[in-house]
Structure 1
Amino acid sequence: MIDEFISSLKYNPEGLFNPWYHRDEEHDEITEAPEIRRNQLKTYLSERIGKAKYLFIAEALGYQGGHFTGIAMTSERILLGHQEPKYGVRPEHVFRNVAPRRTSCPTVIENGMSEPTATIMWGALIELGINPYEIVLWNAVPWHPYKPEKGLLSNRTPTTDELESGLKHLESFMNLFSDVKMVAVGRKCELSLSQLGVDHIPVRHPANGGAPKFRQQVKNLF
């Protein structure tokens, strides 16, 4: 099922970067970067099948996160063990069965990309003593929306059409897991889950000053 799901991500609308099937010609270090990202996503998901209790759905992939790791709300700095120690996040919190690999060129940023949303999300889980293997992170739009005039190292809000295009993939993603609670991280995700008729728990997106409220809401969940 996981292989079929990842294969279904091959298609994506124009204007979005697909980290599992596209190579970032300017910023990827090696030609097999998409294959590495597919393998990391497969490992991340497979280690949570049958264990997950909550699915956290955010808006879309970002260039500092899943663009280079293949995993939603997860940065290279976390995978490579370069996250600041104060957050307590380690590579083995993400997956254990394969060795994490970076795909970005070290010349882009030496220790790998660091995403604020990823730092806050993983930091909150570890700080609250939540088993990270009971949580699965994903996005309403599985691909990376970027600003054409600024290039692939940029983010933008997904359009209504892009959110619509992500619905069938979101539904397929949810079907990988049973007996889980859905958590919508931000209003865009609330809209997508509502369109699918899925009961969900809304929480504040941690970006743009939302981190304190997000942490408190996650704490309340558990």
Structure 2
Amino acid sequence: MTPKSFVSALAAADLPSVFNPWRDHCAIHDRRDAAARRRANLEEILAAALDARVETIWIARDLGYRGGRRTGVPLTDEVHLVHAAALMGGIALERATQGPAIAERTAAVIWQVLSRIGQPVMLWNVFPFHPHEAGDPMSNRCHTRAEREATWPLLQALVAMVQPKRIVAIGRDAHLALDGLDIPITAIRHPSYGGQREFIGGMYDLYGITDDCEAAPKLPLEPRHDVGICAMA
């Protein structure tokens, strides 16, 4: 599978109470061509990851409404699009939304660590879309087992395309959900709500960085995206 065909497969998915950023359009925030911009962003990221022969995929649970839902780049908010473009070799990434750039706390910590590590990685989610409560598209919820099973072939296709040597599962939910993959998986605490120092410390240990863990940027709190273990029923 190529980056283009993979993104096309993503864009073809249509699930209830789920926003697919590579297919769907938000009438409130999106530019007219938002879905096409997000598809182009992800294609650029995937092609750069393959060119760089990245060895690691970082995988969290679901796409958040303040981050990848808006940018088309997992674990990356609009504030850090320029960082993603630089880390992946100076690729072109564009905003797909109108108005001020929106920050996501998790993305801020993720990119604080990535900027210190200085190595390109592939960022992803177990469930690649943004699941929300029915009638509330700007909410976050845990994806269901049925949703995960329906999109599992997409995760398998990504792994087959990138061929990583290691996967880093961000959070317990992601770690449990990735149990079926036949690749070494390292579990790291999710940075949300009290976990940022453990996340940073775990990543620094994993990459052999000896600096003291720095505090993450202070951003407005957002609805928690990884609370305990989801039933995923």
1:103 equivalenced with 2:105 (yes/no): no
Q: Write the distance in 1 (CA, Å) between the matches of 2:97 and 2:58.
A: 25
Task: Choose from 102, 111, 116 the match for 1:113.
Answer: 102
Residue 74 of structure 1 aligns to a residue in which SS?
Answer: coil
2:86 paired residue number:
92
**Deviation at residue 169 of structure 1 after TM alignment:** 1.0
2:126 to 140, 155, 159: 140
Return the letter of the residue paired with 1:38.
R
Matched residue, 1:4: 5
Question: How has the CA–CA distance of structure 1 residues 95 and 104 changed in structure 2, closer, same or farther, with 3 Å as cutoff?
Answer: farther
Larger relative contact order (Cα-Cα within 8 Å, sequence gap ≥ 6): 1
CA distance in 2, matches of 1:102, 1:2: 20
Q: 1:97: Cα distance to partner?
A: 2.8
Secondary structure at the counterpart of residue 176 of structure 1: helix
Match of 1:177 in 2: 162
Mapped to 1, the partners of 2:89 and 2:104 lie a distance apart of: 18
- Report the Cα offset of residue 34 of structure 1: 0.2
1:68 and 1:90 map into 2 onto residues whose CA distance is 14
Give deviations 1:67-101, integer Å, cap 9, x for gaps.
Answer: 1100100001112x5xxxxxxx5752356232x32
User: Unaligned regions of 5+ residues in structure 1, if any?
Assistant: 82-88
CA contact (8 A) 1:13 1:165 kept: no
> Percent identity between the aligned chains?
29
Is the alpha carbon distance of 1:59 and 1:95 closer, same or farther for their aligned partners in structure 2, counting shifts above 3 Å?
farther
Paired with 1:139 and 1:166, the residues of 2 have a C-alpha distance of 11
Shift of 1:163: 2.1
Cα distance in 2, alignment partners of residues 122 and 182 from structure 1: 17
- Amino acid of the residue matched to residue 108 of structure 2? T
Q: Residue 198 of structure 1: CA displacement? A: 3.6
1:13 Cα deviation (Å)?
A: 2.3
**1:48-67 to 2 correspondence within 5 Å?**
48-49=49-50, 50-67=52-69
Q: What is the TM-score normalised by the length of structure 2?
A: 0.82
Q: Contact 2:49 / 2:88 at 8 angstroms: preserved in 1?
A: no
- 1:140 aligns to what SS in structure 2? strand
Work out whether residues 65 and 76 of structure 1, in 8 Å CA contact, stay in contact via their aligned partners in 2: yes
Q: Tell me which residue corresponds to 1:42.
A: 43
CA apart distance, 1:32: 0.8
**1:160 Cα deviation after fit:** 2.0
Q: Is the 8 A contact 2:48 2:88 kept in 1?
A: no
Give the gaps of 5 or more residues in structure 2. Answer: 208-233
Does residue 1:160 correspond to 2:142, yes or no?
no
Question: Are 2:17 and 2:137, in contact at CA under 8 Å, matched by a contact in 1?
Answer: no
Equivalent AA in structure 1 for residue 91 of structure 2:
N
Look up the equivalent residue of 1:200 and give its one-letter code. Answer: I
Aligned length: 204
Two-structure CA RMSD over aligned residues (Å): 1.7
